[in-house]
Every structure is written in structure tokens, then in C-alpha cells.
Amino acid sequence: MTVSPTERASVDWSLYLVTDPSFQPAEHLTNHVLRAIEGGVSVVQLRDKQASDEQLEVQARALARAVGGRVPIFVNDRVQLALSLDLHLHIGQSDMPYVQARQLLPDHLMIGLSIENRDQLESCIAECTATGVRLPDVVGLGPLVETPTKPDAAPALGIAGITALAQRAAEAGIASVAIGGIQLDNAAELTATGVNGICVVSALMGASEPELTAARLRGLFTAKGYQSSRSVPNILSIAGTDPSGGAGASADLKSIAAAGGYGMSAITALVAQNTLGVRAIEIPPTDFLRAQLDAVSDDVRIDAVKIGMLGSVDLIDTVTTWLDDNPQQVVVLDPVMIATSGDRLLEPAAEEALRSFSRRATVLTPNTPELAILAQEQPPATWDEACQMAQRVATRYGAAVIVKSGHLTGSEAGNAVVTADGVQAVFSRQRLATANTHGTGCSLSSALATRLGAGDSLEEALSWVIAWLHGAIATSGRLQVGAGHGPVNHFWNLWAGSAAADATPIPLGAFADAAAPAPLIPAAGPHTATLWEMTGGLWERITALPFIRQLADGTLPAEDFTFYQDQDALYLREYSRALALLSAKAPTSEQQVFWARGAAECITVESLLHGSWLGSDYVSAGPSPVTRAYTDFLTASAGVQDYAIAAAAVLPCYWLYAEIGELLAASNTPDHPYTAWLSMYGSADFRASVEQALSYVEAALEDAPPRVRSLAAQAYQQASTHELHFFDQAHRRTLSV
């Protein structure tokens, strides 16, 4: 990712990740970093001081290919490597002098510089001024506290020292990030120092769930604390109810609290609903709604109003009259007009009344179908069309519009601030694969109203809300509420049980947070049984995936299955190579033949996929980052690791696939749309291959020394995590915040 001078000024430095091989070895690095980027990492610095130039080049190429320009990548210290790969550079005080490095690198590549004290910063500024060389694009200020990852680091600066250096860097026009000992328990403190971001190593590289930890770190840093002189904002929600707690006024009050406000509510409709749908609606008399509104405004200062469900012309008129009598500076309108099913919720007269009422809002937060109703046009098909339509809506109604891409397609989930002058800011996150999206619209609009009521600008408010909501959705599965579209986890960054497990580094692959059920294909012995027991929480997550559930009941969209088959074919081609490498290492001719036969069968199945499912004329878009990360891991493991480690790495593709095939066998019928796939992976022949693979892995682990057994367990766990993401990727690409 190269940048122009204009783009340099807008680089998002808020969560800067520095890699460390002591937490994630090279073969696991790419996948771990991709997961962290999904959670909100905005810059990556590749650091491995022990690696040779050739080894680091392999890592850098793999990482750059997988990241695909989504975030800037910096190489630590190696100037020639940055030049040859066209990557950005970070240098320390003991490396090549900054001015010399800047003169070597082309202008489109950025350089970061470590700064440990005021003298170093002043010296750099003076040298650049004297030589006419561009100042560093970013400086890493630290360490904040003493940190075990850099035992030879300079004395800790503390909050006061970071603040002083950040102020001086800002005066010179240099972006800054704080580094050195930053964890979940102190990330929020750095918000007030003036740095542009936080730079983390162990807090993310040692996390078992990097996407969740990244979301939490980013949320803590970007959640600007309220000034002590400012009272907590009072936010009024005008909305319907949800007795199951996930949407409407319930979601509003939780979101307001999570965003730092005091929530109040006036109820417009009594709704009998849960995660499966709406059962009944009762509308209280409009004079009672007015009585609720007056009771609040007669007694309490209101800093912002969030308005949700207004289901009739009478309700809209009542709120209009109250606003005329009680003018508000911040009115966030979530124009609820379209049900999840796509049905229109309002009569034409009410839609027209709501369009007129929109002129009283300061901010509108429609989804794209609702945006089309406000514009009185056909729904937009692309992100650009949605932003252009939002500009027309903003011009017509005199309100800012938040564009949400939830109903659009693409791997990124975008949210934009659009005014009559066009797009003002865009915030993007990787789409999350989850069915727990109940109440996301309510939650976004009420949290946004809270941040605006506290005094944030619209861009600042939306930035905070997107980071918070991303974490709320990413951790939503831990709530386990309802059988349908569950709610988001509003207090994910407050509850100790939600994400606090990632507060300190966790051993690689330690995801045994639930007991695994007995495998349908028994382990071959104690060592493989231990591997299965380690994957309890992971197995639970795999079987709960929408992809697996829909595959079982036959409702999986054809386009999702086609995408999956495409990636499976590409995967099998590389998996075949990994098995061939493993065969060459096998200690007996019997095992060599088994793994070699498996390699040949992969090519046969790949051809079958192209012939039966994809068609001979199908043109693949190539391996996804998820697929590439998995196959890179497998070929690296099979190519350079001991036989026991390599065998453990390839085992999940046998065992987990077979377990899922056995699990889905009960759903398979002759008229099932995916019966051929279910039959292939649930067949007796495939089960026999799995049992043989288990016996060989068991024997290899029995013969291996304890250190190798430990590394083999890590390889098995890492491959199992790849399996989770591989199964999930088809569904993930069509979901968003």
C-alpha cells in the first residue's frame, strides 16, 4: 500500500501492530495478522530481528499478498527490503540515520522513526530542516512503561512524557503513536495524550482471539473520555419496545449507557417480538406519548434525542409538535420503514409524513432500502450509488446522512458521513460472519446520539460508534440469546467475562474454552484424544456457523456454495503439495504410500469439483486471503517442520471434515441440493482414511519428544482455527455491521 502526499495526511494510525516471533512464529504470522486487521488494526509493522533478509522477505511477501493493500505495511530496519518490495520502513535510533534513509526511499513510501526522548525528536526536526528532507511520517513515542519485549529500551516516559512529545510532534506536523507496554488496562489513558494511535506488540500478538482483542483496544483508545467539567449527557430515546431486549428502546438504553450517557425513553409502540420476529404491535394513545415526552422535558435537561419507530401519521405529528415546543440541537432519526423481511412497515401517508419529519433531524441513519424511500428512488446497488443518493437526501432534508452498507455486498462493511457537500468521512470494517445482528440499527443511532450529545463532532462520534459496534457484534455469540437473529453484546468492553480473557497474552492456540463432545470418529489413542479435547470451544464455533447450519438444512445460497467450492478446489491443489511433502518425510513406506495417495486423491477431488459443481468454463477469482493463509501454513509446516508436527498440521482437514460430514449425514437425502458433497465427506471410504491418518499421527506423537509433541499440538490447533475461518468465509463476505 503506497500513498500519495494527500493520502499520507489521512492515514489511520489508531491501532498500530508490531509483530513479534516470540508470540507467533513465521508460519502462523499471516493468519494472525489478518484476524487482527479484521478487528481494527490499521497499520502493521513486520519485525523479526533474528530472521535473515531472505527469511524476512518470505514473510513480507506472504503478508503483503494476504493483506492486499488494506492497511499500510512497514518493514522494521531493513531499508533494502523496503526498497525491493515497495513497502514502508520503520527505523530505530540505532539503525541507519533518518535523513539517509529518507533520501534512499522514493517519496511514495513512508518512514516511521522511534523516539525515546525530547532530544532525539528535536535533533530529527533540526536535521530535516537543515537538509530540506521530509519529516518522518510517524514517530513511535516510548516506551510508555517498562516492557519485557524490549528489555534494552530507554527509560519509561509515562503519560506525561508521551503527552509532551506528542504535542511537539503535532506542532511539527508529524503523526505519533505511543508504544511500550500498552495493554487493555492502559490503552484508554493514552487518548488524552494527543497521540494519533497506540502501538501494541504482546497485547495482540499473544492474544488467542486477535480480532476481538484488536476491536477492544481500538475501542478503548478511540472512546474519547468525557471531560470532568462536562456532565454526563442525557439522551432521550423515542422508540418502540422489544421484550427480548435486543432492539428498540431496550437496545437504545444499553447503547446510550455503553457510549457514556444517561438514557431516558418515551415509548411509541408496544411490540411483542423476539429474535425470531414480531408477533404483535399495540400503539398507545398519542396523548399518552405526549405525556411521556412532557414528563421528561419538564424536568430533565436533554442533550440529544434519538427517534426510532414512528408507525403512524398521528405519532409523527405528536413528536413534531413536541419538538416545536421543545427545540433540540441534536436529533438523530433512524427512519424505521423496512422490515428485515423487506416488507414496508408504514402506510404511504405515514411514509410521506416521515419524509417531511426528516427535515427536523440533524442526522439520518437509514439502511439503503430506507434511504431509497427518503430519496423516492430505486434502492442503490453499489456503495458509490448509495453515497450519491445520500448526498441528494442530505440536500433535500438539510440533515447529514449516515450511509450503511449492510444491504450491499463486498468484503468491507462501510459507513460514511454524507452531507449536501458530499462524502465527509468513511469508516470501514471487515464484514463479520454472524447471525447476531438484531438491533444493530437502533444501537448505532442511539450510541451516535450519545456521542453527539457529549460534544463530539459527527466524524468523531461515528468513528467511536463503529469501533464499539464492531466489537459488540464480534462478541455477540457469547450472549447466546434466542434461537434467531440474536442481539449484539452492548457491554462487551465493560463486562469482565466478555473479552477480558484477552487482557494478557495467552499461549498460542489456547482456545479450549468449552468441553469438546466425544468425536464421532474416535481418537486413535491418548495423544490424538488430547488434540480433540483442546478444540472444544473451536468445535462449538464451527458447528454454530451459519454456513454449516444452512448446509445442513439445504438453505445455503447457491452463490455461497459456489464460492466455497471454488476455494475448496484451490485449497486442495495446495493441500496436495503439503501431503506430498509430508509423504517424503514419513518414517515407513506404508505411511509414505498413504500420504502420497492422499495427495493424488486431492487432485482427483479438485477435478471433480470443477467438473461437477463449478463447470469446466468456470473462471476462478483466485484464492482468498483466508485460503491463502491456510495453504501457506500447511506447505510451510509440511516443508520445514518435523514429521510429527507436519502430520498434526494436516490432520484437521481429515478429522474435522469427517466429523462435520458425519454430523451432516443425518440431514442428507437424495433430493438435498448438496447431497453429493455430503455423501463424499460422510462416506465410509473417507472415514477409513481418517482413521488411518489418526493412527499415523498417534504413532508419530508417541515417538516424539515432549517439545515436538507440544509444537505438534500447536500446529494442530492452528490448522483447526484455519478450518473455522475456511468454513466461515463464504458467509462472511455477505454480512456486515
**Annotated active-site positions, please?**
404, 437, 439-442
Give the whole-angstrom CA distance, residue 306 versus residue 294. 16
Q: In whole angstroms, how far apart are CA 218 and each of 298, 466, 573, 729?
A: 39, 10, 38, 24
Say if residues 122 and 165 touch (Cβ distance below 8 Å): no
Residues with Cβ within 8 Å of 391's Cβ and at least 6 positions away in sequence, in order, are 401, 418, 419, 420, 421, 422, 423
Pairing of strands 73-76, 43-46: parallel
Distance CA 57, CA 530 (A): 36
Closest CA to 364 of 334, 338, 319: 334
Q: How many CB atoms lie within 10 A of CB 79?
A: 17
CA atoms within 13 Å, Cβ hemisphere of 533: 6
Alpha carbon distance 314, 129 (integer Å): 67
- By three-state DSSP, how is residue 111 classified? strand
Residues 6+ apart with CB under 8 A from 333: 307, 357, 358, 360, 361, 363, 364, 365, 399, 445
Burial class (CB in 10 A: 0-12, 13-18, 19+), 685: exposed
User: What ranges make up the beta strands (E) of 513-603?
Assistant: none
For residue 18, the surrounding DSSP H or E stretch is: strand 15-18
Question: In degrees rounded to 5, what are phi and psi of residue 695?
Answer: -65, -40
Q: Phi and psi of 95, rounded to 5°?
A: -95, -165
- How far apart CA 195 and CA 157 sit, in angstroms, is 14
The three-state secondary structure class of 113 is strand
Q: Strand 400-404 and strand 363-364: pairing?
A: parallel
Buried b (16+ CB within 10 A) or exposed e, 306-330: bbbbbbbbebbebbeebbeeeebeb
